[in-house]
Amino acid sequence: MIKEDQILLNFAEDKVRQCDQNYMITTTGFLDMRQQSVVRRWCIANHVHRFAMYGGYDDAERKLCMFFPDYVEWEGTDPWKLWLTQNPEDDPLQILRVSHSGKKELTHRDYLGSILNLGIKREPIGDMLVRPDGCDIVVEKTMGEFLLHNYLQVGRTSIQRELVSVDEIDVSQIRFEESSDTVASLRLDNLIAAGFNTARSKATDAIGAGLVFVDGLEVLKPDYNVAEGSKLVWRGKGKIILQEVGQTTRKGRIFVQFRRYV
18 three-state secondary structure: helix
Q: Domain spanning 93-168 has what CATH number?
A: 3.30.70.330
122's CB contacts (< 8 A; 6+ apart) are: 30, 116
Q: What is the CA radius of gyration of the chain?
A: 20
pLDDT of residue 174: 84
pLDDT of residue 111: 96
pLDDT of residue 1: 65
d(CA 17, CA 111): 35
pLDDT of residue 175: 84
Domain boundaries, the chain: 3-88, 93-168, 176-261
Q: Same topology for domains 3-88 and 93-168, yes or no?
A: no
Identity at 11, one-letter amino acid code: F
pLDDT of residue 127: 96
**Which regions in the chain score pLDDT beneath 70?**
1
Q: Domain spanning 176-261 has what CATH number?
A: 3.10.290.10
Give the pLDDT confidence of 68-89 residue by residue, as tens digits: 999 999 999 899 999 999 999 9
pTM exceeding 0.75: yes
243's CB contacts (< 8 A; 6+ apart) are: 178, 228, 229, 257, 258, 259
65 three-state secondary structure: strand
Tell me the torsion sign for CA atoms 150, 33, 130, 89. negative
Tell me the torsion sign for CA atoms 132, 64, 82, 95. negative
Q: Domain spanning 3-88 has what CATH number?
A: 3.30.1370.160
pLDDT of residue 130: 94
Cα 61 from chain centre: 2
Class of residue 39 by CB neighbours under 10 A (exposed 0-12, middle 13-18, buried 19+): buried
